[in-house]
Every structure is written in C-alpha cells, then in structure tokens.
Amino acid sequence: MYRLSVLSIAVYAALCASARADEAELQPTVQVTASRVAETVDQTLADVSIVTRQDIDASGARDVYDLLRLEAGVDLYRTGGAGQQTSLFLRGSNSNQVLVLIDGVRAAAATTGAFAFEQLPLDAIERIEIVRGPRASYWGSDALGGVIQIFTRKLDGPRVALSYGSYRDADASAGIGRWDGANGYSVQVGTRHVGGFSATTPAICNGPDDPYCSYDPDDDGYRNSNLVLRGAHRFGSQLLSASLYRSQGQSQFDQGYTDIIEQTEGVNLSGELATGWSHALALGHMREDLATPTYGTAYRTRRSSLLWQNEFHLDESQRLVAGVDFIHDEGETRDTFAGTTRYDESRNGSAVFGGWRAAFGAFDAELSARHDHDDDFGGATTGSVAFGWRANDALRAYASFAQGFRSPTMNELYDPGYGGYYAGNPELDPERSHSSELGLEFTPSANQRLKANLYANRVDDLISFTGPQNQAINIAHAKIDGVELAWDAGFADWSARATWTWEDARDGDTGARLLRRARNKASAIVERAFGARFSAGAEVQYASRREDIGGLELPSYALLNLRARYALDDAWTLGARAENVTDRDYELVHGYGTAGRSAWLEVTWQPKR
C-alpha cells in the first residue's frame, strides 16, 4: 500500500498543479531511428520516446541505469553498484535482443551480443532514442525487442563539470566546441572514480559454511575515462561528418576486477543528390576489449560496417527509403591462464532493405522489408507493415505487425566450452520473432499528451544451453504480452510525466515467467520551476515482484528520488540529487547489493553563446 501511495501522491500533485497553472505547449521532437529517416515522434508509426540532453541535466542522474529505468517497457538490472554488469530488457526481450547504436554504429559485442551500459558516461550523451518493438526490416539482426540509439554530445562553447557524492563518487568532464550552422567541431574528455560498496551480500552464499561463497564485504569500486569527438563540414550540397566515442574502465568485484575498452567511430557523407533524392554513405567501426584476470578470460571484438542509404520523395505524400548494408565481424576469446586462444573467428554479413511511407488524408501507411545474408546461417528475410488513422486533431491510432531475428553470437557458435560442457554450436539457426502492436495517442490540449500501447511478441528458436553436455541449441520459445501507458504534461512552472507498464513474459513451453521481468512497473516525475534560476523535482519508481534464478522471488519495491538545479548566473549552475530517500532495502538480483540513501552535488560552468 505504501509503495502505491507514493506513486499516487506524485501523480496527484502534478494533476493539482495543472488545474491551477497556465498552459505550456509540448513540442514534438524529431527522431531518426524508427525508420532511419528524420520525422517527429507524433508522425512515426512506432512507439518512440526520446531522452534529451535537457532531460539528462534536469535529472542529475549518475548513470544511464538511473535514467532509463524511468522509461515505459524498460527493465534494468545491475549486479551491485556503479560500473557493475548491467542488463537491459526492452519489452521483456533479453539484453542481447536489443540493438544498441552509438551515432549509427552497432555497439554490442559480437562475442557476447551484449552492450556494456555500465561503461557509458552520461556526460558523453546528447540524446537517447528508444524504439520499442521489432525493427529488423530496417536494422537487421538483434532488434527483436527494439532499438536504442545513443547520440554523443555536441558542445557549442566551453564546458566544465565537477561532482562528488556518496560512496566516494567523484566525476569530472571538460570540453569545448564551436559550430557555425552545420560546420564545426566538439571535443570532451571525462573521468569518474567511485569507491563503491560491496557488490554482493551474504545472501549469495548457501549458508555460512558454503566453501564456494564469493562474498567479500570490502568495497567494490569503479573508475572510467572517456572521450567524445565530433566534427562536420559542408561541401556544397554534401555534409561530411565524423564522430568518435571511447570509454575505458575498470570494475572491481569481490574476487577481482574486469578491464574494458569500448570504442566506436563513424564517418558519414550525406546530402541531396538531385531534387527529391538524398543519400547517406556511412563507414563505421566498433571495438571492445574485455579482460578478467581472476577468471583467466579475455574477449576481443572488432566490427566494420558500410552503409549506403537513399531517400526518395516521390511526391508530397509518399517517401521511399532503400539501402545496402555490409558488416564484417571479428571475435576472439583467450584463456590467459594457459596463454591459448579458445577461438578466433570472423564472419561477413550483407543486406538490402527498403521502406515505403505514404499519407493519404487522415490515413498513414508504412511497408518495409529487408533481406540479410550471413556467412554462418545463410539468409533471413523480415518485413513489417503499419497503418495509422488520425480521427481528429487530438486522437491518433496505429497498428503494426513486424518480424525480427537475432544472429547467434560468436560465443554461442564457437566457444569450445569447458571440457565440452556449455560449448557453442556452429549449426545454430537465428532466433526469430513476430510482434503485433496497437497504439493510441490522445492530445487533449497543447500541454498534455497520453499514449497507450498494447503488444504481443512471440519469439521462436531461442538459443538455450540445454543440449547434450549443456551445448547451445535452438529449443526455447517465449510469449511476451504487455500494455504501456505514458502521460506527459507541461503547465507554466510545472511539468509532469508518468508511465505504467504491465508485462506478462513467459517461457512458451513451460509457462514459467521469464527471470527478472516485473509484471507491473510504474514511474512518475514531477518538476517545478521557481523563477528562471531554480527548479526542483521528485521521481518515484515502482516494480512488482520478480522471479530470479533457483525459483527465488524478489520482493516488490518503490524508490523516491529528489533533484534540484540552481543557476548562479548565465554560466554557473549547481545541481543536487538524492536517491532512495527512504533508504529502502531491496534487491534487483538475488545476492547482489543496491545503494542505500545517497546524494550528490554538481557544479557546472558553461557560458551561453
């Protein structure tokens, strides 16, 4: 009752504020991820939400983890504090079933299929676009649950930020940039050092005499350094742009540490080739090096990509997108104890894709298809269809059907296992899915927006290590059904946002609930500006009970966070954030710790141009 009442109070406060405040119009935001071209969120026929740089600054959040767990349909689980392994489930899908892009470059490792969100510094981010539901017909492999694209920071002028807080958490970043229209550059460097707390708790042990217990009450810290570069120059009708993101960190755990390097680079040439015809030619490269000396393991991933995409405006109401994709993956795993290579493999992939979008009066339609060819498993063809109807200026509905697939990771294909146990299988087929969705958007006034989505996703040929000697095989199935509600409002000095997600994610064969997916999840944010310089707000997060490994059930929890910002002048800003204000004791993963009551202060110098 207490958990629900906290959320109810936050929403009620926002509604009361709206009843006595003047209107402040909500502006539609442009996104480019859903269909690979620029369109506003209220035009797209997919469920899209955007986290802007303004949202990040207002939150005062320390990690992407703290930021994205407020989004509908997103579950994040971390095995300890800052820098510890973080898994993201989008609409109930596994963490390796979400396509993650950084400035358009695929960022997940080909060895594990996962992206290390824990290594992504918030100061390096300009905005995040979240597209829910399969988008394989545009993006290819991995987008079963959706796509998350991260755009790195673009500074215009100098900036310096320093912060310090609980668990000896110190953060600093500095950068400079200058832009004249499309031409310019931006560079930023950052570092973070966290003393931390014990990643595990005594609950991880099977009793006090467990000889294999890994619990150690010492603090498990984290340190990171990062770099973001961006530049662009226009040559006539063509824009040449480039970006580089690099993050290098070390995460401690009870028995050792893990070193990790993540890097993405991209070079793009885009512009108009003729009337109604524009293109984008993109070269990309990603790198991940991960080593855990305690376990004698080292993973190395390299991926190079080439894309040529074309956009044709057939007339005022029709648009065609078509392109070709080429990808080269390299993956290597080493046993650093023995000094041997467990496997060293590479593979090539190519694809052609196309999408047609049309608007006819009150109706919208979108068709898209893609064919991928992979060295490992052959071909995969996916498609999607979506229709929209605008009943009036306030009400819009859309429906869609889409297919998705995920290529087996290199570990799933080639890892020799341990004495043959838990080995990969080069005969694996890709995982496949099909999803149906119904969306409804209601905008009763310029300052309020309500969105509801109903979806059903079926995933077949899931890869499971349940074959002979626990070898990887295609056997499992998943059934994921859900409802998402989101409400946004802005009223003069007040702003508010609330989300609720109901999700039923189950094993399609046994009916058992999938691990660590909450059936009910809710969040609310209420913010008020006190004049032009000071603002303060509150966040509430709630998650119901979840199943964990070994038949355990994790209790429900609710968290209250507070935040505030004060502009000393046009250049200097003070920020403060307090998390878990009620000092709630809760678990995200059984046997792993979570932060208690904690707080941070930040000072930023960023003169306005």
pLDDT the model gives residue 147:
97
Give the three-class secondary structure for 227: strand
Per the DSSP assignment, residues forming a β-bridge with 211 are none
Cβ density class 478-505: b for 16+ within 10 Å, e for less = bbbbbbbbbbbbbbeebbbbbbbbbbeb
Residue 4: pLDDT over 90: no
Q: What are the pLDDT digits (tens) for 335-357?
A: 999 999 999 999 999 999 999 99
The pair of three-digit structure tokens given for residue 261, joined into one six-digit string: 């390097």
Rg (CA), the chain: 24
Flag the least confident range among 206-210, 395-399, 484-488. 206-210
Q: What are the pLDDT digits (tens) for 116-133?
A: 999 999 999 999 999 999
Give backbone dihedrals phi and psi of 19, rounded to 5 degrees, phi first. -70, -20
Instruction: Return left, alpha or beta for 417; rule: phi > 0 is left, psi -120 to 50 is alpha, else beta.
Output: left
Strands 146-152 and 98-102: parallel
Give the three-class secondary structure for 203: helix
420 confidence band (pLDDT: 50, 70, 90): confident
Nearest to 331 by CA among 303, 297, 373: 303
Whole-number mean pLDDT of the chain? 92
CATH superfamily of the 2-154+224-530+541-549 domain: TonB-dependent receptor, beta-barrel domain (2.40.170.20)
pLDDT the model gives residue 609:
77
Percent of the chain having pLDDT more than 70? 95
pLDDT the model gives residue 491:
86
pLDDT the model gives residue 24:
55
Instruction: Return left, alpha or beta for 111; rule: phi > 0 is left, psi -120 to 50 is alpha, else beta.
Output: alpha
Q: Which residue has the tokens 């742009």?
A: 241
Nearest to 44 by CA among 315, 310, 309, 366: 366
Q: What are the pLDDT digits (tens) for 465-478?
A: 888 888 999 988 99
26 confidence band (pLDDT: 50, 70, 90): low
Cα 392 from Cα 413, distance rounded (Å) = 52
Q: Which residue has the tokens 């470059």?
A: 105
Q: What are the pLDDT digits (tens) for 424-467?
A: 999 999 999 999 999 999 999 889 999 999 999 999 999 988 88
pTM of the model: 0.94
Percent of the chain having pLDDT more than 90? 85
The domain limits of the chain are 2-154+224-530+541-549
Average pLDDT estimate for 488-511: 93
pLDDT the model gives residue 419:
82
Residue 319 CB contacts under 8 Å (≥ 6 apart), including other chains: 37, 311, 312, 313, 356, 357, 358
Q: What are the pLDDT digits (tens) for 223-280?
A: 999 999 999 999 999 999 999 999 999 999 988 999 999 999 999 999 999 999 999 9
Residue 14: pLDDT over 50: no
Residue 16: pLDDT over 70: no
Average pLDDT estimate for 542-568: 95
Higher per-residue pLDDT: 99 or 28: 99
Give backbone dihedrals phi and psi of 57, rounded to 5 degrees, phi first. -65, -40
Cα 99 from Cα 52, distance rounded (Å) = 20
Cα 122 from Cα 190, distance rounded (Å) = 10
Cα torsion at 583, 588, 589, 591 (round to 10°)?
A: 10
